[in-house]
Amino acid sequence: MAAADDIKSLQDTFAGKVLETVEFRAEQTVRVSLDALHSVLAKCRDHFGYEMLLDISAVDHLGEEPRFEVVYELATLDDSKHLRVKVKVAEDATVASAVDLWGAADWHEREVWDLMGVGFAGHPNLQRILMWEGYPYFPLRKDFPLAGLPTEMPDVAFSGVAPMEGGPFVASVGAPNTVLREPRSHAAD
């Protein structure tokens, strides 16, 4: 059975909850409603053989409602099928955790929470994984300024210009090709 067949079965089982299906370059994507997400993921694992959760990520559609889209990348162990499951999430809503389905969801959900601010209901340990506890911002949101924001912990993080000069690597900005432009260690000179 192919991923396209799995999507047809999902449409039959979750009538009205499968909001969109897309096939692009032989990749299958299904967008589902938020209230059906956990059931759809469980069906993918238990009935269609998607034993691996490869990734969970989020997209910030600033200016749209709902603002966020959470994306799950699923695969079978023999790598014969891949399926992308998407769900739109409002800024103040939470997504049902998939940790009970795949242990790998633990750190992926923590990363999405840490960098985008999308919460996962039922997660056993939803705390920051990359930023420090108490950090008040979500740095991958589109409204986060590229220059960063001031912090009350300047010894841990700073928002000034990164000190590149005198560092361990040197880039040759004016070099004629990419091989010569890429950063090189001082020891290689």
Model confidence pLDDT, tens digit, residues 115-125: 999 999 999 99
**Single-letter code of the amino acid located at 137:** Y
pLDDT in tens, 175-184: 777 666 666 6
Q: 1 falls in which pLDDT band (50, 70, 90)?
A: confident
Residue 166 scores a pLDDT above 60: no
Spatial distance between the Cα atoms of 57 and 189, rounded to a whole number of angstroms: 40
Mean pLDDT value across the chain: 86
Residue 81 scores a pLDDT above 70: yes
Which alpha helices (DSSP H) does 60-156 contain, by range? 105-116
Residue 22 scores a pLDDT above 60: yes
Residue 148 scores a pLDDT above 90: no
What's the pLDDT score for residue 188? 45
Spatial distance between the Cα atoms of 114 and 107, rounded to a whole number of angstroms: 10
For residue 23, the SS3 value is strand
pLDDT in tens, 25-43: 889 999 999 999 999 999 9
For range 162-178, the mean pLDDT: 60
pLDDT-above-90 percentage for the chain: 67
Of residues 174 and 17, the one with the higher pLDDT is: 17
Domains and CATH numbers, the chain: 3-137 (3.30.460.80)
Cis peptide before 139 (omega within 30 of 0): no
User: What are the CA-CA distances from residue 103 to residues 34, 87, 98, 118, 177 (Å)?
Assistant: 21, 20, 8, 19, 44
pLDDT in tens, 42-79: 999 999 999 999 999 999 999 999 999 999 999 999 98
